[in-house]
């Protein structure tokens, strides 16, 4: 690693010949060759979900929603020729981030991939029907076009539970009205480092129309990935919700892009960058509540440094026990496995480090 033209070697960042073993169980190797900055664009993922219920039937959450009603929902939707429903197989992925949020858990589904997104319909999940589109683009309008198409196709064949005064009726009051939930997941390591994670989180939360949290335990920010969604569905149209999130997504994306462009301009910032990596290195092996966050925050900054040309791609970080480290996080913890799977899509995940070994 270079800092001010010199190779920095603190105790946490010694080369293998200087430190052949360490209590943390990992070994670093730094190569001070010149590196070229790669294209460094923020990673984003977006989704639009419509929640619908069929008229004249109990909600999924109701005690009266017995198996016979589940079969009735499936039967009604099987009449839609363009949407062949099928049973979900064991271990078969739907869309990873939507699955992480528990939105499209259900027993029958339709799924296909178009040019810009995955789109599909899940039955008997949170509501009778969940129509969704998800992909890696800032153009949420394309997601809306996909879900609107399937919404219209379904409504030609069945009657939705709808009230002229309240809109679409749902078992969850937070979905009443438009029944539209829009999600943005965006990786903001440069902004988080420069301004501070808490300050950035508070700035995003200042918009009272939005809900902002992370993918960690209790909504904690992991790997500088922020999940932003609309707070309200009542009194707003589906398109209003989509447009609000899309406008914010483009704004924050450009802000992060600008922060990355100037990230290496300040020598003092580079000093702080190395020090932060060293601090996170220690957190990774403390075996306490901060361990998991320390791991993902470290990886997040590591990949930012690599993309900015601060860290050599083939100079790399070497774990002697990568497999032991990653498996220790995952054993017996389904929620943690889901977080790892979600972070894979955003390119911030432990096993990617194997590319450097």
Question: Would you state the structure tokens that stand for residue 131, as one six-digit string?
Answer: 């129509």
Tally Cβ neighbours within 10 Å of residue 96: 16
Q: What percent of the chain is modeled with pLDDT above 70?
A: 67
pLDDT tens-place string over residues 26-81 = 333 332 333 444 556 788 889 999 999 999 999 888 888 888 888 888 888 877 76
CB atoms within 10 A of CB 292: 20
Confidence band, pLDDT 50/70/90 cuts, at residue 324:
low
Please report, rounded to a whole number, the percentage of residues in the chain having pLDDT higher than 90.
30
Please identify which residue in the block is written with the tokens 């040309």.
Answer: 309
Residue the block writes with tokens 């601090």: 279
CB 231 within 8 Å of CB 173: no
Q: What is the per-residue pLDDT for 126?
A: 84
Distance CA(122)–CA(5), nearest Å, equals 55
Q: How many whole angstroms separate alpha carbon 357 and alpha carbon 341?
A: 22
pLDDT tier at 91, thresholds 50, 70, 90:
very low
Domains of the chain: 23-38+264-356 (no CATH), 44-257 (3.30.590.10)
Contact 247, 208 (CB under 8 A): no
pTM listed for this prediction: 0.80
Q: Supply 206's token pair.
A: 């200042």
**Mean pLDDT, residues 135-163:** 91
Confidence of residue 333 (pLDDT cuts 50, 70, 90): low
> What element of type H or E holds 146?
helix 140-157
Which candidate, 186, 165, 192, 269, places its Cα nearest to that of 229? 186
Q: How many Å apart are CA 121 and CA 49, to the nearest integer? A: 9
């Amino acid at each position: 690693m270079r800092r001010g033209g010199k190779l920095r070697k603190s105790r946490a960042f010694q080369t293998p010949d200087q430190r052949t073993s360490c209590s943390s169980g990992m070994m670093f190797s730094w190569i001070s060759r010149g590196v070229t900055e790669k294209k460094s664009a923020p990673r984003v993922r977006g989704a639009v979900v419509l929640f619908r219920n069929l008229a004249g039937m109990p909600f999924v959450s109701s005690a009266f929603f017995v198996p016979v009603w589940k079969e009735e929902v499936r039967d009604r939707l099987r009449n839609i020729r363009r949407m062949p429903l099928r049973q979900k197989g064991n271990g078969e992925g739907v869309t990873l981030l939507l699955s992480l949020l528990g939105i499209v858990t259900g027993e029958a589904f339709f799924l296909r991939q178009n040019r810009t997104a995955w789109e599909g319909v899940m039955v008997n999940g949170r509501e009778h029907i969940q129509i969704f589109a998800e992909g890696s683009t800032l153009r949420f309008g394309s997601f809306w076009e996909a879900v609107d198409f399937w919404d219209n196709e379904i409504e030609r064949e069945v009657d939705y539970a709808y009230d002229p005064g309240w809109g679409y009726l749902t078992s969850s009051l937070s979905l009443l009205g438009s029944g539209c939930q829009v999600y943005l997941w965006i990786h903001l390591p440069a902004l988080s480092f420069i301004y501070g994670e808490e300050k950035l989180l508070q700035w995003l939360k200042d918009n009272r129309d939005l809900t902002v949290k992370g993918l960690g335990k209790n909504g904690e920010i992991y790997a500088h990935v922020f999940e932003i969604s609309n707070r309200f569905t009542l009194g707003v149209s589906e398109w209003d919700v989509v447009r609000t999130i899309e406008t914010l997504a483009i704004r924050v994306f450009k802000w992060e892009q600008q922060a990355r462009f100037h990230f290496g301009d300040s020598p003092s910032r580079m000093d702080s960058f190395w020090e932060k990596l060293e601090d996170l290195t220690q957190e990774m092996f403390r075996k306490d509540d901060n361990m998991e966050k320390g791991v993902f925050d470290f990886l997040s900054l590591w990949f930012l440094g690599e993309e900015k040309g601060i860290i050599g791609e083939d100079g790399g970080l070497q774990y002697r026990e990568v497999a032991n480290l990653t498996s220790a996080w995952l054993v017996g913890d389904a929620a943690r496995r889901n977080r790892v799977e979600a972070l894979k899509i955003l390119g911030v995940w432990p096993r990617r480090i194997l590319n450097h070994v």
